[in-house]
Copies of this chain bind each other. A is one copy, B any other.
Amino acid sequence: MAIRKGKYTVELTGGVVISCTAGVAGKKESEGPLREFFDKTFADDRMGESSWEKAESALQTAALDILLQKAGVMPSDIDILFAGDLMPQCIASTFALRDFGIQSYGQFGACSTMAQALSVGAVFVESGAAQRAAAVTSSHFCSAERQFRMPIEYGGQRQPTAQWTVTGAGAALLERGGRGVMIKRITPGRITDMKLRDTANMGAAMAPAAADTLLRFFSDTDARPADFDLILTGDLGTVGSRLLNELLLSEGLDISANHSDCGCMIYDISSQDVHAGGSGCGCCASVFCSHIMPKLRDRELKNILFIATGALMSPTSSQQGESIPSIAHLVQISTV
């Protein structure tokens, strides 16, 4: 049974574990510091497909295929799947999952979708609505770039605050376990809008959402930042990470000792020309599934907060002069 903890947080008591994960990534990511951790990398970012959107679907299909293989389960063993991406009408997920025949509910939280899908999936397993649930998300630099920014061929100069959309995907399997890497608490995000309008500075737009969720989590629970081996945001990049720390410090909360950000981890920021770091639904998904999860399984990490952030604007809303509303969903993951 899930228990409300404070005003905003849910404690899961049913022993929902992340039993298996898989992460895949593209060429640039395979040249970065996490290269050895991905289950699969692609040397050609087209993945043999005829469009960038189809290539992104191929990433999600690959992540789910590897997950099924590693976990030793069939698609029919998964009761429900929660998937999402950045494309209009979530087509990367739809076309990736079309042939699996798994029941699914599409999720949209922009770059926060992996934390959202894990949260909703965990509640389904907790309640008994699913024996096994899966969460899958993806992004692709080229499909995102031409949608949100410029045609790739245009070769536009990127601002120093801009983040680089990760070509990658992650997939996770959730089931009742009682022991292992357990989802202990979730704090859903609230839409937060500080009226920032610069779509080349998502980190600044998303940092207040991450701060809001973290402050609500710490207020709801008796936890302190020092209780966690890692407070992992995704994907604020360098600009957003600095702002998050400043915002929290001004509220008396210091997470600097154990804060890391997926967008800062996936690339070598000094040499890979990614400006403020990585972003996209595939960034924190591939970092968590490929890099963080093995550390949890090996008990190198025992208690972490995973806070994925999303910028909820669209090209249309930005063209209409709107600001960038953001959201951040938190998942507490503990090894038991």
Residues of chain A touching chain B, judged by Cβ–Cβ distance below 8 Å, are 1-4, 7-8, 10, 12, 50-51, 53-54, 76, 79-80, 84, 86-91, 94-95, 97-98, 101-110, 116, 119-120, 123-124, 126-131, 186-191, 193, 312-317, 320, 322, 325, 327, 329
B108–A89 touching, CB < 8 Å: yes
In order of increasing CB-CB distance, the 4 nearest A-B pairs are A88-B88, A127-B127, A89-B314, A106-B108
Residues of B within 8 A of A325 (CB): 94-95, 98
B89–A188 touching, CB < 8 Å: no
By beta carbon, the residue of chain B nearest A188 is B103
CA distance A327 to B103 in the complex (A): 9
Residues of B within 8 A of A10 (CB): 128-130
Known: A88-B88, A106-B109. 11 other contacts (CB 8 A): A1-B127, A7-B76, A87-B88, A88-B314, A89-B313, A91-B312, A94-B313, A94-B317, A103-B190, A123-B123, A123-B127
A322–B95 touching, CB < 8 Å: yes
B101–A320 touching, CB < 8 Å: no
B327–A104 touching, CB < 8 Å: yes
B101–A190 touching, CB < 8 Å: yes
CA distance A109 to B82 in the complex (A): 11
A53–B88 touching, CB < 8 Å: no
Residues of B within 8 A of A76 (CB): 7
B188–A104 touching, CB < 8 Å: yes
- Contact A316-B104, Cβ < 8 Å, known A120-B120, A188-B80, A325-B94: no
B191–A104 touching, CB < 8 Å: yes
A105–B98 touching, CB < 8 Å: no
- Contact A3-B191, Cβ < 8 Å, known A53-B320, A87-B314: no
A107–B105 touching, CB < 8 Å: yes
CA distance A325 to B94 in the complex (A): 7
